[in-house]
Structure 1
Amino acid sequence: MTGGKTVLRVPSRRHWPRGLAILHEDRDILVVNKVSGLLTMGTDRVKQSTAYYLLREYVRKGNRKSQNRVYIVHRLDRDTSGVIVFAKTPDAKRNLQDNWHDFSKVYYAVVHGSMDLKEGLISSYLAEGKNFKMYSTDDDSNGKLARTGYKVLNQNDDYSFLEIALLTGRKNQIRVHLAEKGHPVVADKLYGIKEKGKLALHAAKLTITHPWSGARMTFEAGLPSYFSDLIDVGSSSV
């Protein structure tokens, strides 16, 4: 027992679902590090190549009649890598979602150009257009408040490396805010420049309150190696 909760032994890497690294598992939650390119949940066209499907099969351990399940608490965009928490019971899902605004979410990003303000807060109302892209609006009746804090950790002639505090959780929020500031995330084909490579946006740290024990827990996932191909990221890379 740790902090009043039963912690399950994390299996060896060879038993991890494809595209996912298991960071923590107990009877209530399952926390993973997702690779870029993997959907969190299914779409009309993609059902099986998702984190949800792979983890559902993982907890069933090959038994199709198993009652074990996972429940989606939040999501990352397909091309965003990093930490995601899934619930293993309906009560855990409800608790996590009800308290989501109290949790800390830290991201890292590499963006184009050099930002004039090295630390700041971007705030706007985000709305969704007919093309399903998000955009900022001054009309608070048409959009939802989105707040993104950032700090420049390093920069070179081409890029800036940012630590980002996600203060609200709107669709594509970080990508939209940075693009509208003139500094799109590297390889953001939707809001930025159509270029080769993987999206340089990573959910690095998530701090939650455990839904059963009440313990404060922080989960971290080191940066993918392609970040350091763009800029010196110091000790944040793996």
Structure 2
Amino acid sequence: MAEKFIVKERSKLLEFLFNHLTGWSKKTIKQRLQGSSVAVNGEINTKHDFALNIDDVVEVGVVKKASTQAQTLQKLEIIYQDKDIIAINKPAGLLSVGNTTESKQHALAILRNQLSRGKNQVKLWPVHRLDRDTSGILLFATSKEMRETVMDKWGISEKIYLAIVEGCPKEKKGTIDQPLRLDEKEYRMHVGKHPDAKPAITHYAVKQTSPERSLLEVKIETGRQHQIRAHLAWLGHSIIGDERYGTKGEKMGLHAKKLTIIHPVKKKPMSFEVDAPRDFYKLFN
């Protein structure tokens, strides 16, 4: 049964939960929020920085009903598979991995179910993650050892994205090397120098422009959380549909197009590539 709270003073949603769920760890609270177990005025809300007003009703413990296409998927598109690694094309709107809630609608669980046969349950380990609203290449390993072997060379892997942004950058090519710091209360990255900030490097190139939007190819040397989203917003060209760093929209314009890794057994470079879906390009037009 869900717990209900009445908001007495304005605050951000995550901060409100921290203050009222005193018996829970901050990690668990964030996991419940990300897992669609929190509602505001009857509507599921996963935004850490959502602004609460006086007399709003916050419920904790609700379970979101599957409604979107991504949430009701039974099969995922497998781009590559061998006995060591599996690469899939994750649709936008689907979590990469699960959390402490009971929901099984995330890429890891769906893929496990898809590959398992009867009592022969497949075990998988996520090599990395994509944000829920980012589509594209997501890599899994078939053992913890294979995952660690891939991660040992992750620093030299090539990660290329497509991004549709507001406006057009002045420079057709550029590099953003601003450090990033995670604000746990607001669950967003702050850009700029700070004792807690970590190095982050993002390269971009303008591929196409329209009067109001641009299509960029983005390559990241580091893989900080929300790196591309925060860096492009800092540049003054936030990603279309990115409510956290820009303006709310029906879909976010970010797609993981290409990933090149060192295969954990073959010890040779291996590339995976998948184009963005049609509804991604509709954001540009």
2:95 aligns with 39
Note the C-alpha offset of 1:228: 2.4
Matches within 5 A, 1:35-184: 35-45=91-101, 47-61=103-117, 63=118, 65-129=119-183, 130-139=185-194, 141-184=195-238
Structure 1 or 2, whichever has the larger Rg, is: 2
Q: Give the unaligned 5+ runs of structure 2.
A: 1-72
Deviations 1:150-200 (A, max 9, x none): 0001101010100000110000000000111111100001111023x2111
4+ residue runs over 6 A deviation: none
1:188 aligns with 242
Letter in 2 for 1:148: T
Q: Give the unaligned 5+ runs of structure 1.
A: 1-16, 233-238
Give the superposed CA RMSD. 1.4
Deviations 1:89-136 (A, max 9, x none): 121101011111111010000000011111000011111112111111
SS of the residue 1:174 aligns to? helix
Letter in 1 for 2:142: K
Task: State the TM-score, normalized to the length of structure 2.
Answer: 0.71
Q: Is the 8 A contact 1:19 1:38 kept in 2?
A: no
Letter in 2 for 1:133: R
Letter in 2 for 1:110: I
How many equivalent residue pairs?
212
The structure whose RCO (Cα within 8 Å, separation 6+) is larger is 1
Note the C-alpha offset of 1:224: 1.0
1:22 aligns with 78
% identical equivalent positions = 38
Task: State the TM-score, normalized to the length of structure 1.
Answer: 0.85
Deviations 1:187-225 (A, max 9, x none): 001111023x21110000001111011121110111111
